[in-house]
Amino acid sequence: MTDSALLDLLEADRAIALVRLPAIADPAALVAALARGGIRAIEFAFTTPGVEEIIAAAVAGAPAGVLIGAGTVTDADLVRRAGAAGAQFLVTPGVSGEVAVAAQDARLPVVMGAMTPTEVMAAVGLGASAVKIFPADTVGPAYFRHLAGPLPHVPLVASGGIAAHNAADYVRAGALAVTAGSSVIGRADVESGDWSAVTSKARAFTTAARGMKG
């Protein structure tokens, strides 16, 4: 997996899905539902029980053009486990040199979490493919505009508190993409297998993030 493949996908969709649930009975169906709604970069958090098996099932059943990632990656052991499960990219909650080195060894792109300009620069220096500003809702879209001034070439991803009603605000302010979490991937929808609801919410999110009329 190359940095450019991930970044091209994020730029096209303007979204990345974050899946963090207590159980996921049918990962392939969830991935297909999100892809039908226009979200093709899908991150499964390591805080989800059995996530390695979930990632493996998602990768095996993913439609063409979909990338499956591992999220909440905090150390080298999780990098290795994510790679063994078939993850195609990694997402971290913060800056980690340990993760960066292990990811480079595994040839996996990393979206590294950060908040301050110092942390953003540190993440870039460690080889991050993109930098996730988390939690984005604590600083708002204007913060991305300020970061883009001195750091115009850093691909930024907004994560935390993003929904269809405010997704475009972050993209217009300079974010390459925004994270779709519980507003799109609802626990009740996943548990009941209501994949049409997931697709509908994903489509509304990506339509908004791209600044298009629904």
Q: Which residues are catalytic?
A: 43, 132
Q: Kindly report the length of the chain.
A: 214
Pick the closest to residue 206 from 33, 28, 22 (CA basis): 33
Pick the closest to residue 132 from 198, 65, 43 (CA basis): 43
Q: What's the Cα-to-Cα distance from 148 to each of 8, 93, 151, 197, rounded to whole Å?
A: 19, 21, 5, 35
Percent of the chain as helix, strand, coil, to the nearest 5: 45, 15, 40
For 77-166, where are the E strands, in sequence order?
A: 89-91, 110-114, 130-133, 156-158
Beta pairing class for 41-45 and 67-71? parallel
